[in-house]
Structure 1
Amino acid sequence: MSVPTVLFVCVHNAGRSQMAAGYLRSIAGERVRVLSGGSEPGSALNPVAVAAMAEEGIDISAQVPSILETEQVRASDVVITMGCGDACPIFPGKRYEDWELQDPAGADLETVRGIRDEIRGRVEDLVRSLALPQ
């Protein structure tokens, strides 16, 4: 069985998509290939998102915002968008989900914790839906 590829996309690839990718890597490990990108990537990760994830024992500080590549979408089985509108190319046969989540940019730690916790719940649901081997 091949390993499914999940792509997380948001505008800046600095907060929501990086937190989701961090959770999926932590929960699913090698059972999933995780990609992330942004339609207009920022210059650095949101430091409050990094701090919120560190509270969960997940270090995303080494991640770098990157531009969404069409090839990433083509290579993915599941594409999760988070507020990037029509910036993500659509290919037939892919599973697409749009997660409406508040943008953590400029938010305080308490607010970002709420966004993080919502992302964790959605990633846990995603992992269950993928029916990954144990």
Structure 2
Amino acid sequence: MPPGKPSVLFVCVHNAGRSQMAAAFLTRMAGDAVEVRSAGSVPAEEVNPVVVDAMAEVGIDVSAEIPKILTADAVRASDVCVTMGCGDTCPVFPGKRYLDWPVADPAGRGIEAVRPVRDEIERRVRGLIGELGVPEPA
């Protein structure tokens, strides 16, 4: 990891669920200590409303987020690229760290099914913060 503020990119297919939750958790937990991005290989029109509700349950508002297209520039600008079900659509650049999190897709699921996905992503983000050596804000 280069010195300075680490940069993390979360990628899933629609950038409407998993990657939005991961980005929101990392932003909440690491504050300004990490630069956070999220994108999708085929972005949706809006963040999944059930994901918005599930995140609101833990005090995080993602209702204003807008799904973004994955670009080579976003990958190039990131130290760590975390993929969640986007297959081989993420460009690979030398010197980047790539992680693949096999997390269930919340698309088309109700709140009862999305809560465990949310909680798994939160657990993984906490682990990533530890790996990055970034202290969580008090």
Identify the TM-score tier after normalising by the shorter chain: over 0.9
1:37-76 → structure 2 map (5 Å cutoff): 37-76=39-78
Per the alignment, in what secondary structure is the counterpart of residue 20 of structure 1?
helix
TM-score when normalising by structure 1: 0.98
Per the alignment, in what secondary structure is the counterpart of residue 87 of structure 1?
coil
TM-score when normalising by structure 2: 0.95
Whether the 8 Å contact between 2:30 and 2:135 is mirrored in structure 1 is: no
Residue of structure 1 aligned with 2:15, choices 10, 13, 19? 13
Give how far 1:62 is off: 0.8
Q: What's the counterpart of residue 115 of structure 2?
A: 113
Give how far 1:60 is off: 0.8
Tell me the amino acid that sits aligned with residue 43 of structure 1: E
Q: What's the counterpart of residue 105 of structure 2?
A: 103
Give, in whole Å, the separation in 2 of the partners of 1:31 and 1:2: 9
State the aligned residue count.
Answer: 134
Give how far 1:53 is off: 0.4
Give how far 1:116 is off: 0.1
Uncovered stretches (5+) of structure 2, i.e. residues with no partner: none
Tell me the amino acid that sits aligned with residue 88 of structure 2: D
Q: Percent identity?
A: 60
Give, in whole Å, the separation in 2 of the partners of 1:22 and 1:48: 15
Uncovered stretches (5+) of structure 1, i.e. residues with no partner: none
The structure carrying a bigger helix percent of its residues is 1
Runs of at least 4 residues of structure 1 off by over 4 A? none
Tell me the amino acid that sits aligned with residue 15 of structure 2: N
Tell me the amino acid that sits aligned with residue 30 of structure 1: D
Give, in whole Å, the separation in 2 of the partners of 1:84 and 1:56: 26
Give how far 1:85 is off: 0.3
Per the alignment, in what secondary structure is the counterpart of residue 125 of structure 1?
helix
Give, in whole Å, the separation in 1 of the partners of 2:109 and 2:116: 11
Tell me the amino acid that sits aligned with residue 78 of structure 2: S
Q: What's the counterpart of residue 87 of structure 1?
A: 89
**CA RMSD of superposed structures (Å):** 0.9
